[in-house]
A and B are shown apart, each in its own frame.
Chain A
């Protein structure tokens, strides 16, 4: 019998030598005259164990974690092709607590098969949502999304159905569905993992969104920092077309939807939806004044639905299982699951998809397992560079949109970055201003000038915190988009929760 070995080929695994591992396994098997079938997959999201390789056995898939090419001879000695025990054994993959204790639906198939194997996708339940959508007219599809309570996973948490209904209601023969895959927040990688690991899910979600809004053209705006996702998506789009799930007359329905891929230019603010549209149109990525909303006048002035990758990836199951099923997950107005991403100084970093409502502490302790360095946690930053720094005394806050809004914080795109006790929070606050100065599109003065002044003040030996407070107020009230209006979030939270770090003391020169 041919042994089957699964080796991830996502960007992180490649960074950690997965190709070398695959090569060594193939060569050793050949030398030993053993038939093997190596399947390159997406990542399971247990980043701490990457490269995590798996072997198919009668009992299920057996996993080995943190494998380097140097481990390969030992793995063969341990008869890993039959699931033999090795010092890097993790047991059955499905029993690894980190994965077992999650409640995945968006990421349930990530890591199971070759991401561009469309038959495998379908065999694991793929296109079930689109099949349902094919039987429905646009309105019932949007109603299903409304019942689901799905909110935008990009950061703002705006109810998806409102956007969908608005675009559907806008009368125009030319409309667009734009997928925002400009995942620029530090500490976030869920979009990357799903695009590299299960791209047909995104394609399926976009086609459903196209049917729901009567848009015939879709665009994925992908950041240039994700080269592997680009390759995978290109291939997946071609295969979906060849299989009749994309293009004209999809599965004989008479409906049409096309997807093109656009690669960005390395600008954080292009993740803001109107800057993203400007970028697509060939311009500087400068934010537009709203109104008009993109749902009425978006790409090239046409009605445009803009959703984040994860939002669109939630849609296939909502159609397949019903909006009520999705609404039953989570708590309050935070329905469904959220793929949280643990990073920074954390022992078990990776992707954790759980229903909303778990406490931040449970996420950090039960999944994160404390810091990688062994030092106590000083703060976590949630929701990317525009997210709040929170101290341990607030870790019992439940992970819901409502609870975090009450703290003046947000969940953003679900990134949770852990900082140890050696962190200088004033340096982090100053970095927030510096990042804003670097990335500001320059359209509005509070952001363009405020960020520079803020960084200057915090670089002084004795910073005038009252002045910083004033500056933050101006930026919050006067900025055109979240870049300027939310840069104060990390700054103010750092000052509020870690006042000792802001006492007068000599500052190092900026790098």
Chain B
């Protein structure tokens, strides 16, 4: 992830608009680059896409992917959906929450780890599944997940 900066942010917003793309695509570009949408990007988004502040904030709030605060240095997204439930995702989630002291959606105080739920990664035949810093994981159990977390050196 790139550290947020005004110049890149403005360039991303303008490029999106020039390509004839919409507000959601600009937000996607910002999140893919910085990991979140900084408050300072709101005004340029309003101007570029001719939308009110309420509209821009409303769109950001609607989508799970569009965070407004920086994520942790590592992000663990555990699948919470039915196919993974059927093979122990609930227990695995409880385990990692207890281990890290975080509930889903929280970031640790030192900014090292964000824990999130995700609804289906399409790895359903080999659950429980997760994304750890964008790397897909499948056939997880407590030991494998603990080992993956340990490898992150939080």
Contact = CB atoms under 8 A, between A and B. Distances in A.
B131 to A, nearest CB: 8
Nearest to A189: B122
B120 A186 contact: yes
Contact of B24 (A15, A184, A265, A435): A265
Nearest to B97: A511
Contacts of B84: 186
Contacts of A15: 123, 126, 129, 135-139
B82 A14 contact: no
Contact of B125 (A47, A280, A282, A435): A47
B82 A11 contact: no
Interface in A275-305: 279-286
Contacts of A263: 28
A16 B63 contact: no
Contact of B120 (A184, A344, A381): A184
Interface in B95-154: 97, 103-104, 118-127, 129, 131, 134-139
Given A282-B49, A343-B125, A12 B22 contact: no
A375 to B, nearest CB: 11
Interface in A435-460: 435, 438-439, 441
Contacts of A228: 136
Q: Which of A185, A282, A423 counts the most B-chain CB atoms under 10 A from its CB?
A: A282
A15 B136 CA distance: 5
B120 A341 contact: no
B40 interface: no
A441 B58 CA distance: 12
Given A280-B22, A282-B24, A511-B94, A192 B122 contact: yes
Interface string B5-19: 000000000000000
Q: Tell me the interface secondary structure of chain B in the complex.
A: mixed
Contacts of B97: 511
A279 B23 CA distance: 9
A211 interface: no
Contact of B59 (A264, A283, A342): A283
A410 B44 CA distance: 46
A12 B125 CA distance: 9
Contacts of A284: 58-59, 62
Nearest to A435: B119
B122 A188 contact: yes
Interface string A417-449: 111100100001001000100110100000000
Interface string A313-357: 000000000000000000000000000011111100110000000
Contacts of A267: 62-64
B136 to A, nearest CB: 4
A350 B85 CA distance: 17
B34 interface: no
Given A15-B129, A385-B81, A186 B63 contact: no
Interface of B: 22-25, 27-28, 49, 58-59, 62-66, 81-87, 90, 93-94, 97, 103-104, 118-127, 129, 131, 134-139
Given A11-B122, A511-B103, 16 more contacts: A12-B136, A12-B138, A15-B136, A187-B83, A192-B122, A225-B121, A225-B131, A227-B134, A262-B24, A266-B63, A266-B64, A286-B62, A343-B83, A344-B87, A344-B127, A435-B81
The 7 closest A-B pairs by CB, nearest first: A349-B125, A282-B22, A265-B63, A186-B81, A344-B86, A343-B124, A282-B23
